[in-house]
Amino acid sequence: MVGALVSVVPLAQGDGFFRERDEADCVQSNDTVCLDWALDNADRYVSPTLEHLLLVGVSVAAGLVIALGLSVLSHRRRWLMPAFLATTGVIYTIPSIALFLLLLPISGRGTTTALIALTLYTLQIIYRNIVTGLANVPDAAKDAGRGMGMTDRQLFWRVEMPLAVPEIIAGLRIATVSTVAIATLAVFAGAGGLGDVIYTEGVQAGVFKTAIVVGSAIAIAMAIAFDVVYIGAQRLLSPWRQVRPV
């Protein structure tokens, strides 16, 4: 009986619940997310995700190195601190797309322009947090180091910088999360990343919501993953900050 029903009313391919939905179907139906399309086209997001990781990782690492160098200079010569804070602050207020476009005539389209812009945006956050962390080092700790015969350089690297780690990590967390978001605009510099797939697959394809939502979800997951890594690093580098039961 069941066989007779199946033979009389066969399910046409592409009909009903199991119909495969392409990009045009999702746009036409105005769905927020077409899960089946997202799963079938997951490979489209692999290269953009790796490009995005590269942009974020390199720019934050470069920003940390530059900010650390500025911190060392201003720590020894305090009169430089207001100038560094003002300069990095002005750079941070430049609109993202405007900075990308301003750099294009200098460094051309591509990853280099995006890395320069993203690195500049990290300086204000990281530098300010390093300075704050160094300022919060207790005088008693520095006096103890001097009492042990440490030079100024030894005191800076062995006492002050380790005690400033929590503030430095906090700055890196904020800078990295903001860089993950700003890096989506690197598409306008021709640097790829998740912004490329969001723009080309989502906006240019007639506001294809699935591509926009999936690309944004990957960026959010990336930011959360970076944050978890930083929390773990802080616990390893500053174990004295952990609360222990009495």
Domains of the chain from N-terminus onward: 45-237 (1.10.3720.10)
Q: What is the CA radius of gyration of the chain?
A: 25
- What pLDDT sits at residue 22? 55
pLDDT score of 216 more than 60:
yes
Task: Tell me the average pLDDT across 161-174.
Answer: 91
- What pLDDT sits at residue 7? 37
pLDDT score of 108 more than 90:
no
Task: Tell me the average pLDDT across 55-67.
Answer: 95
pLDDT score of 145 more than 90:
no
Least confident among 16-30, 125-139, 163-177, 194-208: 16-30
Least confident among 21-35, 59-73, 109-123, 126-140: 21-35
pLDDT score of 23 more than 80:
no
Q: Residue 147 contacts by C-beta under 8 Å, 6 or more apart in sequence?
A: none
- What pLDDT sits at residue 13? 40
- What pLDDT sits at residue 161? 87
- What 8-state DSSP symbol labels residue 189? G
Task: Tell me the average pLDDT across 125-149.
Answer: 88
Q: Which of 56-65, 89-98, 157-166 has the highest mean pLDDT?
A: 56-65
pLDDT score of 28 more than 70:
no
- What pLDDT sits at residue 208? 64
- What pLDDT sits at residue 220? 93
Average pLDDT, the chain: 81
Cα(210)–Cα(31) distance, rounded to whole angstroms? 8
pLDDT score of 120 more than 70:
yes
Task: Tell me the average pLDDT across 112-120.
Answer: 94
- What pLDDT sits at residue 128? 93
Cα(234)–Cα(228) distance, rounded to whole angstroms? 10
Identify whether the C-beta of residue 175 lies closer than 8 Å to the C-beta of residue 63. Answer: yes
Q: Rounded to whole angstroms, what are the CA distances from 240 to 61, 133, 161, 163, 207?
A: 25, 15, 14, 10, 50
With bands split at pLDDT 50, 70 and 90, how would you rate the model's confidence at 19? very low
